[in-house]
Structure 1
Amino acid sequence: MRDALWKDSPLFMGTTKFEKAAGINNILVSGGAGFIASWLVRHLAIQYPHYNVICFDAMDYCASINNIGYVLDNCTNFKFVKGDVTKTVEVTAVLKEYAIDTIIHMAALSHVDRSFGGQSSEFTAVNAYGTHVLLECARAANVSRFIHMSTDEVYGEVNHDDVALLESAILAPTNPYAASKAAADMLANAYYKSYKMPIIIVRCNNVYGPHQFPEKIIPKFICLLDNGGKCFVHGDGKNTRRYLYAGDAVDALDTVLHFGDVGQIYNIGTTDELSNLNLCKMLLQKLGVEEKDYNKWIEFTGDRPFNDQRYAIDASRLSSLGWVQKMEFEYGIQITIDWYQKFGSAWWGDLSDILTAFPVGHLHVNGVHNI
């Protein structure tokens, strides 16, 4: 059965393990069956048997029961609850039933290209309004800790190659996805200021690794190439992004959970920066394509309505808590390639629309297939 694929997959999680923190007993992770959040719930449930971990997820297209299969079957301190962060009744019920004292809010619509389409208002509904609902329910439940997962995209474009932004930088989002996340950040900060809620905000750069739905650039390119397709590159391909392995992201979140200061913002980032074009070439090289043949596997497409040239954040504040990046990009990308070559689209079922119908850069007018 497809939903038992997790039994054949390596078990991926973080590496950190700390002493039990006061006030943490029952942790709710919203969006816990998605990519980064599923790495986190596996990590928390396995590393901390004295914590109860509740995965609260609406199970949209980029979530998978396989992502949480191991902990469902093997961890008595783990529970899955299907629910929607935009529904007050559902959120209130799960917080009450499991006496939640700690929330790690990771539920979000996150694919930038889709946010430019005809259904872009869904990003506002889930990312901004959903966060507001969760904050209000958490306030009523008097939780002791609320960690809000954000993104480096809220800062907007970084124009200079030698600049990495601190947490004090102004928010200047340039696409609907980033704007919805910035709105969520503002709401979280307002609840900290107005109600003295124990809120921490984290802002992460691009995360990659096994279990990511193949709409983001790394898994999409791997799946396309592995299925004999081309890499469709936005514009001239010179836009750069920084990449963080999912295990390092989990270690960062675990560190913030145990040592982060309430009211603080922490950037989670690396200096592993590549252009989209160079990333494509790296994947081609690792898949055994000779350099002289790269042009056969790369096709340049129309760009986004606006495409930030560069994102870069400074993670010094997080490092001061003891977090360090452990996964080198060259090794992490090979682990990722190996996993997708073995599991590929089988993890999510038929991905023909994603991999062939609407290449990256081709925006569909109704927003349904904005890959």
Structure 2
Amino acid sequence: MSNVKRILITGESGFIGSHLINYFVSKYPDYQIHGLDILTYASDRTHTKILEKNKNYFFHQIDIFNRKEIINLFAQYSFTDVIHLAAESHVDNSINNPLLFANTNIIGTLNILDAFKTYSVGRFHHISTDEVYGDLNFSDLAFTENSPYNPSSPYSASKAASDHLVRSYHRTYGIDAIITNCSNNYGPHQHIEKFIPTVLASIYNNQKIPIYGSGSNIRDWLYVLDHVLALDLIFHKSSPGKTYNIGADNEISNLNLVEIICDLCLEKKIHPNPRKLISFVSDRLGHDRRYAIESQLLRSELNWMPIYNFNNAISETIDWYIKKFSKI
């Protein structure tokens, strides 16, 4: 094999993965970029199939739970590096089917780690979530990289377990592993089941906008392209064994976010009175009150800062989804 980087990006046809692999294929033409995805309901190949015209892009449809296929793939291509995003990620689905989340997020990650340990010599970058830390009271300080794990849902518990596996492989086997924990992402390509696309689909179709509980739950919203820029920087510049939180310091309650979206949709003449569609529904089981993470370590060590303005990015996000809905 040559000295060319051969990077495997798992979950390449998912929300964040599709943005990341498009960015890497374009920015690094000398890298071989391999995308892997099982193509579940939450994947959308249309965002990555366009990459097939690039000589440095390759696609593999494989389930990371299938240990034999993963081992064979690594044996065939000897990937130098892995950026691991493949995961089941919808909290409601994890409540209904925890086993699926354990199989994909825990065992699937273990399969990738074992293959990497055997065949790879570069970096294993594991993408995780701020939900592993649990939730905060409204007056608490934001979580840091040193905060203890306290997951609330089967989804966040499965991601916490995968984080621990990655750290254990770094310490036990000496692999070059790094972990990033991000806040809630928003932007184009996200599946309709997620919060912002659900709100926009409801407005577009003149249906009730479902809001859990009172809508007071708070999330830190990170634009997906800011996340991609952070991942690129961390993958290339951080030290082995590091963990970084990636957040935008952009805490907004669910109700406030819906109101912002409604007002923009009114301004854009998408609906004559979107706020009248707001409907409060029974709260999610174990619904976390507030997520907030401190990204100072990333900002001070690697000089990362979010560059996308929230008002502009959420407006462009609305435009993208409305255009998508109009074609259905």
C-alpha distance in 1, partners of 2:200/2:306? 24
C-alpha distance in 1, partners of 2:27/2:76? 24
Partner of 1:57: 37
Partner of 1:188: 166
Measure how far apart 1:93 and its partner are. 2.1
The match for 1:256 among 220, 227, 234 is 234
Letter in 1 for 2:282: G
Task: Determine what percentage of the aligned residue pairs are the same residue.
Answer: 37
Q: Secondary structure at the match of 1:199?
A: strand
After superposition, the Cα gap between the structure-2 partners of 1:24 and 1:193, relative to the gap in structure 1 and judged at 3 Å, is: farther
2:318 pairs with 1:340: no
Measure how far apart 1:228 and its partner are. 1.2
Measure how far apart 1:208 and its partner are. 0.6
After superposition, the Cα gap between the structure-2 partners of 1:24 and 1:158, relative to the gap in structure 1 and judged at 3 Å, is: farther
C-alpha distance in 2, partners of 1:65/1:240? 31
Structure 1: 4+ residue segments shifted above 4 A: 292-295
Partner of 2:61: 82
Partner of 1:361: none
Paired residues of 1:139 and 1:197 also in contact (CA < 8 A): yes
Partner of 1:359: none
C-alpha distance in 2, partners of 1:116/1:241? 20
Deviation string 1:87-137 (CA, Å, 9 cap, x unpaired) is 1121122222222010000000001111111x2210111011111111111
2:307 pairs with 1:314: no
Q: Secondary structure at the match of 2:190?
A: coil
C-alpha distance in 1, partners of 2:140/2:99? 35
Measure how far apart 1:293 and its partner are. 4.9
Partner of 2:131: 153
2:86 pairs with 1:98: no
Q: Secondary structure at the match of 1:93?
A: helix
C-alpha distance in 1, partners of 2:148/2:98? 24
Paired residues of 1:255 and 1:322 also in contact (CA < 8 A): no
Letter in 1 for 2:294: D
Superposition RMSD in Å: 1.8
Partner of 2:8: 28
Q: Which structure would you say has the larger RCO, counting Cα contacts within 8 Å and 6 or more residues apart?
A: 1
Normalised by the length of structure 1, the TM-score is 0.84
Paired residues of 1:24 and 1:102 also in contact (CA < 8 A): no
Measure how far apart 1:70 and its partner are. 2.3
Letter in 1 for 2:90: H
Letter in 2 for 1:45: V
Paired residues of 1:44 and 1:53 also in contact (CA < 8 A): yes
Letter in 2 for 1:169: S
Paired residues of 1:35 and 1:67 also in contact (CA < 8 A): no
Partner of 1:172: 150
Unaligned runs of 5+ in 1: 1-22, 350-371
Measure how far apart 1:162 and its partner are. 5.2
Letter in 2 for 1:307: H
Which 10-residue stretch deviates more, 160-169 or 237-246? 160-169
2:186 pairs with 1:208: yes
After superposition, the Cα gap between the structure-2 partners of 1:282 and 1:149, relative to the gap in structure 1 and judged at 3 Å, is: same
C-alpha distance in 1, partners of 2:12/2:72? 17
2:91 pairs with 1:112: yes
2:199 pairs with 1:225: no
2:114 pairs with 1:133: no
Deviation string 1:174-226 (CA, Å, 9 cap, x unpaired) is 11100000000111111111111111000000001001111110111111111
C-alpha distance in 2, partners of 1:145/1:64? 27
Unaligned runs of 5+ in 2: none
The match for 1:277 among 214, 239, 255 is 255
The match for 1:37 among 17, 20, 25 is 17
